[in-house]
Amino acid sequence: MTTLESRRWVILPILCLAVLIVVIDNTIVNVALPTISRQLHASTTSLQWVIDAYSLPFCGFILAAAGISERFGRKRTMQLGLMLFALFSAVAAWSHSTEALIGARALMGVSAALTVPSTLSLVTAAFSNERERAKAYGAWAGTGGIAGLTGPIVGGALMLHFWYGSIFLINVPIIAVMLVAVQIAVPNLDASTRSPIDVFGLIEGTASVTLLVLAIIQGPSWGWTNPLVLVFFGAALLLMASFVRHERNHRDPLLQVRLFASRRFSTASLIRVVGYVSIFGYTFLLTQYFQIIRGYSPFSAGLHSIPPALCGMIITPLGAFAALRFGTRMVVATSVLFASAAFLMMTFSTPVSSYFGFIVVVQVFSSGGMNLSNAPLTSTLMTSLTPDLIKSGSAVNEVTVQLGATMGVAIMGSIFSSTFIPGVASAFRAHGLSSVAVLRAQSSAVGALSVAKHLGGPLGTQLHAMVFSVFMQGFHRVCILISIMLFLAAALAYRNLGPTAQVSHQKVSSPLPPATE
């Protein structure tokens, strides 16, 4: 037994904490979005970039980071990533403009990309017994549920007593503890390859995703038929096609395209992307619904996020056991279908819907449905691969999370903006408001309500109610789209995952080199 395997139960929580710190950075930011919008005068588009500036480089550099960890050692790469993450978290905390905050978030995303890739491959190597490995996958995937529970509460509590920068500064002491734990408990691993990184593939892959997200986010404000938006879409598609062709022919590619020759792997990857598109896109708007429409404080909004987050934290590890008993196909298809129904129910919400009588029930069903599928999908991704592809598969597994998070905020935020911007602009123009007031109103819900409040009187009250109505229209359209996407994902899971997708109890060889003291 290698040093890595003998320490597996000590190393697992450390690896999970490394995942937690980068996942929690999205959930903790969501509760601060209305405050950032007010204090930095950020538009809805800027708020999308506050989220996506983190997820986009995370997604774009994750494969390159996986290659770096293979060449320079997983422990060293993880430590470097954590140190940089702490540094740029401090920079974000003291940012006083939207542009500075977005830039710091982007650098945090690159740092997160350096931190995460080794975690899942280390879990796979440390647990050679498949039943233990299934439990470890459940714990690893369950960190997202913990982040969902603690992020909004911690973020809300910090916002209650400090400025918005405190949600970033809190990362620094946590990472300091992590660095000590990693140094003591995680063994050094020899680099397994010295081949050069596929720089051309890195540029193509990152540029294609960046242009696609840029087009999606800017589409509502620039216009979907704007020549520049169309150019971005076209360039993104061409670069993606060129990236796939390049990776297929490269001797040491960033992305092993042959991974997707496995129907189980490609299906599980697609469902994970759809799931994270749904969750991150929905959460982006839900935090604004709680604070802007319901009038909750950031801390209260965090407290109202406890039931679904707690459900997710409990349910996620159970998914691994459910898959062992009932099969991955049934667990994933059924759970995703439940989530689809829950999001459809959310279209009946109103600004005064009872939280405990309606919203919390829908939240628990959607959270439980989505989180129950996490561990089986992760296990399906990893167990559908031969040992020589597991390292590439672990990086792709994380890419699906970040790609889903990036696209979720971009797509759902743009669907909302495509409803909100013309709706608010039309209503405010109809009442003879100046172009400056209209521009301020259509920039964000916070901006629209501030204009209405400034007007006061019957007109202000009327416009205030109209902003609420248009917000709910956009929110409901997002929920409908999510419901349709998840219904199709459930059907795909039932068709393609099949009974053979159950977790095997056989041992597989470790994909990593022996650990050294």
CATH superfamily of 3-187+254-422+470-499: MFS general substrate transporter like domains (1.20.1250.20)
Buried b (16+ CB within 10 A) or exposed e, 148-170: bbbbbbbbbbbbeeeebbbbbbb
**Domain ranges within the chain, ordered by starting residue:** 3-187+254-422+470-499, 198-253
pLDDT of residue 144: 61
pLDDT of residue 193: 54
| Residue pLDDT tens, the chain, 517 long | 566 667 778 888 888 888 788 878 777 887 888 888 888 888 877 887 888 788 778 777 776 776 677 677 777 888 888 899 999 999 999 988 889 999 999 999 889 888 877 676 677 667 777 677 767 766 776 676 576 667 778 888 888 888 889 999 988 998 998 888 888 877 766 555 556 777 788 788 778 877 887 888 777 778 888 899 899 999 989 998 998 888 888 877 777 777 777 788 888 888 988 988 888 888 888 888 888 888 888 888 888 877 887 787 778 778 878 887 888 888 899 999 999 999 999 999 998 888 887 888 888 888 888 888 887 887 777 776 666 666 666 667 667 776 777 778 778 888 888 888 888 888 888 887 788 888 888 777 888 888 888 888 888 888 888 989 999 999 999 999 999 999 999 999 998 887 553 333 333 333 333 333 3
pLDDT of residue 490: 94
Phi, psi of 188, rounded to the nearest 5 degrees: -70, 145
**What is the C-alpha separation between 429 and 438, in angstroms, rounded?**
7
Residues 278/409, Cβ–Cβ less than 8 Å? no
**What is the C-alpha separation between 396 and 387, in angstroms, rounded?**
15
DSSP letter (8 states) at residue 95: -
pLDDT of residue 190: 54
Q: DSSP 3-state assignment of 189?
A: strand
How many residues belong to the chain?
517
Supply the pTM of this predicted model.
0.74
pLDDT of residue 510: 32
DSSP letter (8 states) at residue 293: I
CB atoms near residue 394 (< 10 Å): 26
Q: DSSP 3-state assignment of 107?
A: helix
Q: How far is CA 353 from CA 187, 250, 293, 451, in A?
A: 52, 55, 11, 25
The residues that bridge with 515 in the sheet, in sequence order, are 189
Buried b (16+ CB within 10 A) or exposed e, 16-42: bbbbbbbbbbbbbbbbbbbbbbeebbb
Contacts of 218 (CB under 8 A, 6+ apart): 45, 229, 232
pLDDT of residue 395: 63
Tokens of 268: 């599980």
